[in-house]
Structure 1
């Protein structure tokens, strides 16, 4: 009996992790990597168990154009940071199931003085629900029931797709911002078993074909698949790993 065309499925690594493409171009710094610890963000809430953060950097690993008195004592404009406004790309083929926009981008906080009141507001933001934590965000259903990938803290007004849209890996879908529970512009990405962040459980993921500069290492390593180490700088690569 002809069963018709087979539905595409989500690629998985040898360990069963979902395989994604890095959702950007250029160089980014890895923070809160599950290569360092699990849960990577210190909690299983909101499907964050295997999540990772990426902060845009320049060739000198700087996250912002400069430091001044505001960096030490106050808040800073989000536009000062290299990540802010950088294009975010679909990390896989799939269908958009959530496209939330309209949350404000916050000022950035590197100063310990500015971080204290922000940290004290964490519980209040959790009570406000998903938008207060995720800010502007997209959730994409992966093929073949392979889970859901969330891209979080997007720039206000930058979301270029809507629920129901099909996307392909590498397609521009938004820009990096500083919305939601974020102290400086960065991208938070995670794979989950549900599109509902309030009940989702995290799913392991890895990224395909990227250059990685581990912390303290001058020359990059070419990796065919894996999870960036904590404090490593990465960029996508079309080359093969050695």
Structure 2
């Protein structure tokens, strides 16, 4: 088995792990688009809440700005070269209500067919962490927030953008994955671990809150 790529944790503050490869592989229920070992990270408060709840969270949609993770800095998890920096996709409304969430999830295939790959990825950055790989991808970034461009050399900890709600995202979060290629159609997911601020290395369990300051 390939040795996991160790990434610096790309966020500060409190983040809730969802779709963690510590729970199951493939983590998102599919190997498509290199998501085998990927993870989603949702900004939360000290009580584990991404946003307060109200009428809209029960019956409608909510503005992404309401969520704690929206607009928070996303940092480079590796030294490397940016190979893709895609911006311009809309940060759409968040959906926590089953009334809006279920129809949205069921429309994923049609959105991919009509809008192409960026209908799923939204705004994203791919970093070549070596010489022709491995490739580290950060997905669902906030429109207009990217601070890097293709061909640019970057270092660990450098801000590359902000957490957003673009692409196939039901609430603001950061999706992180490592692959053997920068081609969405053919890439294979590779295992990864995070290095945290205290020097420890691991992968958050499903539902675990990571605190980085």
TM-score category, normalised to shorter length: over 0.9
Cα distance in 2 between the residues matched to 1:71 and 1:172: 31
TM-score (norm 2): 0.96
Cα distance in 2 between the residues matched to 1:161 and 1:56: 22
Match of 2:18 in 1: 31
Partner deviation per Cα, 1:166-187 (whole Å, 9 max, x = no partner): 1100001100000000000000
Superposition RMSD in Å: 1.5
Aligned partner of 1:157 among 144, 155, 158: 144
Report if the CA contact (8 A) 1:193-1:202 is conserved: yes
Report if the CA contact (8 A) 2:2-2:190 is conserved: no
* Residue 112 (structure 2) pairs with residue 136 (structure 1): no
SS in 1 for 2:137: strand
Report if the CA contact (8 A) 1:130-1:198 is conserved: no
Report if the CA contact (8 A) 1:98-1:140 is conserved: yes
The higher radius of gyration belongs to 1
- State the structure with bigger RCO (CA 8 A, min sep 6), 1 or 2: 2
Report if the CA contact (8 A) 1:192-1:202 is conserved: yes
Match of 1:206 in 2: 193
Cα distance in 1 between the residues matched to 2:107 and 2:199: 39
Report if the CA contact (8 A) 2:2-2:191 is conserved: no
* Residue 157 (structure 2) pairs with residue 170 (structure 1): yes
Report if the CA contact (8 A) 1:18-1:146 is conserved: no
Report if the CA contact (8 A) 2:133-2:181 is conserved: no
Partner deviation per Cα, 1:190-224 (whole Å, 9 max, x = no partner): 000001112110000000125xxxxxxxxxxx671
Change (3 A) 1:15 1:120: closer
TM-score (norm 1): 0.84
Structure 1, gaps ≥5 residues long: 1-13, 211-221, 238-242
* Residue 37 (structure 2) pairs with residue 50 (structure 1): yes
Cα distance in 1 between the residues matched to 2:94 and 2:199: 32
* Residue 25 (structure 2) pairs with residue 41 (structure 1): no
The structural deviation recorded for 1:113 is 0.2
